[in-house]
Structure 1
Amino acid sequence: MSSPSAATSRTTPEGEVRGAPGKRPSVSSRLFLPLIAVCTAVTAANIYLAAPLLPLIAHDFGSTPSAVAWLASVAQFGYAAGLLFFAPLGDSVNRRRLVAVLALVAAAALVVGAASAGTGALAGAVLVASAATVVPQLLVPLVAERAPADRRARHVAAVIAGLFTGIVAARVLGGLVGQAYGWRVVFVGAAVLTAVLGLATAYILPAQRRRREGSLFAGLAAVPGVVRHSPDLWRACVRQAGMYGAWSALWTSLALLLAGGEGYGMTTAAAGLFGLFGLAASVVAPLAGGLVDRFGAAKVVRSAYLLAAVSVPLFWLGGQAMAALCAAAVLVHAALVASHVANQTLALTTTSAPATANTAYVVSGFAGGALASALAGPAYGHWGWGGVCAVAGAWLVLGWAATAVRAR
């Protein structure tokens, strides 16, 4: 289906790779996909950097963990905003230059965050850093475009596996390093990694000479029209918003349960190790890619929602039983990544403007996640862990029911 996008781009054949052969690897280079996956891991870690460090940040600023829990949702809102404004540019501007600039801005913001003296300054730095760490979403459409049709979901899954590996690293390594050296050191380390990997990724991208038609942000204006003209894209957006919101409410609040006095009373480092269960997502991603290529996206999304629905009551039981909490963590990550692989593959192939469609999809998911995590903090403060589980369950119901009614 053709997109009503107001901005189109043209890449000259001779501009595909600039310079002498061998000096600039082409998009088909073996290094391209692994580097994108690693860069995605670092980006995901930046978005969730504050979540496992909330107890340390609260102690440093003389507050309580529940009172600073909103910092986690600030990061997600910032990422959603960055996706909304920057990701559509992948259809119209030179990706190499944009990737390099955004990586440096994100690194600078993380350094400012490490030097902040209060939650207000830290929130501003986290917002800017998260908005600028959208590099992988500029490149996922390129990965999908260049992949063989029968392996497209597998290639997308490789990038998604990197994303969830970064989430695990943010919780595990962030918790361990934060406990040993303080949360500010974690922010500085993330800044260095972001700058190095962002510039390395920009270096291997193909040089593109594009002639833009329309205003710089015409792709942003085209997002509503692209969604309106593609029912499949609309369903992918809403269902992932529901799934991601349920996961986000649980995962961003987990440190409050594990490290809080009313929960398990773990140290920040011990609570961070719980994030190792998130490795289930990295294992499931390639399997989900194969299932999508074989059976289609719809069946995989239905199965993912069933897994997530089972995980919510297990999370509730996990408030008192660690075994249930561990089982729930594995199930919810498997559900999220399977749904993500299926829905993002669908979003990237349902219109003729993949960057714009991907923007709509990822913004929807992160907006759903940010809103759910913003509600989860107050829910935990008023009703404890059961309140967080209720928010997660409500998001799953809303995500599925809305699309089921629209489908009929």
Structure 2
Amino acid sequence: MSSTTTAARARTTAPRRPADGLAGRLLLPLIALCTAVTAANIYLAAPLLPLIARDFGSTPSAVAWIASVAQFGYAAGLLFFAPLGDSVSRRRLVAVLSVVTTAALIAGATAAGTTALAAAVLVASAATVVPQLLVPLVAQRAPADRRARHVAAVIAGLFTGIVAARVLGGLVGQTFGWRTVFVGAAVLTAVLGLATAAVLPTEHRNRQGSLFAGLLAMPSVVRRSPDLWRACVRQAGMYGAWSALWTSLALLLTGGSYGYSTATAGLFGLFGLAASVVAPLAGGLVDRFGAARVVRSAYLLAAVSVPLFWLGGQVLVALFAAAIAIHAALVASHVANQTLALTTTSTPATANSAYVVAGFAGGATASALAGLAFSHWGWGGVCAVAGVWLLLGWTTTAVRR
């Protein structure tokens, strides 16, 4: 069965949830805003690496692994917490995880060394899975012919948060120190997380949630759905390529090639706003043409961006074009693949968790390798890692029927 047919069938069978008055009208915008803030927590350390290294008497490349810790922590949170959306109250989960994330960010702000900071980042990233608890709810409540556009609204919030982490994080960190950035993120997480929990619809769940239930169910859920498997692998390839390039970008911009300050390098993240602009367009294209065609086009665009990034090691204009292209490719692929993941099984929270875990595992591994590649071969090594990840993501799914 094709991915388009499967998604179409799921759209016709999924019930539409009525709006709950003012709370119902506020739900999607508030979820998108909460997603922006919590997504920023995962990438908080990346633009601050030069400042963190200076504070701890190290080098930026020596602390680059902290950015990978954040992604591995997020993947762990997705394995254990996000699948609980199929069995327990999302309202309670969102509230508890928001409080835990807030506490971890405050601990990170007071860390005395890289080990303590990495531990705080790990906990904060593992608990900041609120967006992936809420995306299945958004898809469930959306009208059938506008589901991808509603999912795209949340994804637009996610990428806006990523941009804010890089741009505002770099500016605030340069002015007030990186610890202030962590404190500010903690306050925003507490306020928006608890506000979102307050407006979530009441759910009556009969099943008992277990931290290991979703983890144990994921392999069989993926195995039974070839469309979900393809979405997982293709997004792992795409996200890995983006992560390798984007988490290493601060090292390039503050290094010998350009010599920018942390604040100036952070402004480069404004190009990530291309993702927020593309997300609604991608949602409309998925609703109209299906997920497969959108993903194929996104991979072609990403493949073009890699040599542009390589050229951008010396030519700033090429780096501008590459940044826009990779963000557009990533968000288009993400909207298509996540919509597919949410509509191919009877357990959307577990399926969505498997999908996002695959993406973030691919991203964390690629960014870790990119850090090593930058240390040994410079920016060209980072671009090579990105190219290999795209090739693996596409060819692996292309050869399996």
TM-score normalized by structure 2? 0.94
CA–CA separation in structure 1 for the residues paired with 2:47 and 2:288: 37
Alignment of 1:9-408 (within 5 A): 25-26=22-23, 29-212=24-207, 215=210, 217-260=212-255, 262-407=256-401
Runs of 5+ unmatched residues, structure 1:
2-15
User: Is contact 2:84–2:209 with CA below 8 Å preserved after alignment?
Assistant: no
Does the CA-based 8 Å contact 1:66-1:381 persist in structure 2? yes
**SS at structure 2 position matched to 1:117:** coil
Whole-angstrom CA distance in 1 between matches of 2:355 and 2:391:
19
Q: Which residue of 2 aligns with 1:5?
A: none
Structure 2 vs 1, CA of residues 67 and 216 (structure 1 numbering), >3 Å: closer, same or farther? closer
> Which amino acid in the other structure matches residue 403 of structure 1?
T
* Off by >2 Å, runs of 4+ in structure 1: 213-217
Give the aligned CA root-mean-square deviation in angstroms. 1.4
Matches of 2:258 and 2:286, distance apart in 1: 39
**2:203 partner SS:** coil
SS, match of residue 93 in structure 1: coil
Contact persistence 1:89–1:217 (CA under 8 A): no
Post-superposition shift, 1:208?
1.8
Aligned-partner Cα distance in 2 for 1:114–1:213: 36
Q: Is the 8 A contact 1:85 1:217 kept in 2?
A: yes
Q: How many residues align?
A: 385
Separation of aligned partners in 1, 2:45 and 2:326: 21
Contact 2:243 2:367 in 1 (8 A): yes
Q: Which sections of structure 2, spanning at least 5 residues, go unmatched?
A: 2-17
Percent identical among aligned pairs is: 84
How far did 1:220 drift? 2.1
1:209 Cα deviation (Å)? Answer: 2.4
Whole-angstrom CA distance in 2 between matches of 1:208 and 1:364 = 28
Distance 2:347 2:368 in 1: 32
User: Are the equivalent residues in 2 in contact too, given 1:164–1:279 (CA < 8 A)?
Assistant: yes
The offset of 1:43, in angstroms, is 1.2
Q: Do the aligned partners of 2:282 and 2:332 also contact (CA within 8 Å) in 1?
A: yes
Q: Could you tell me whether the CA contact under 8 Å between 2:84 and 2:210 is conserved in 1? A: no
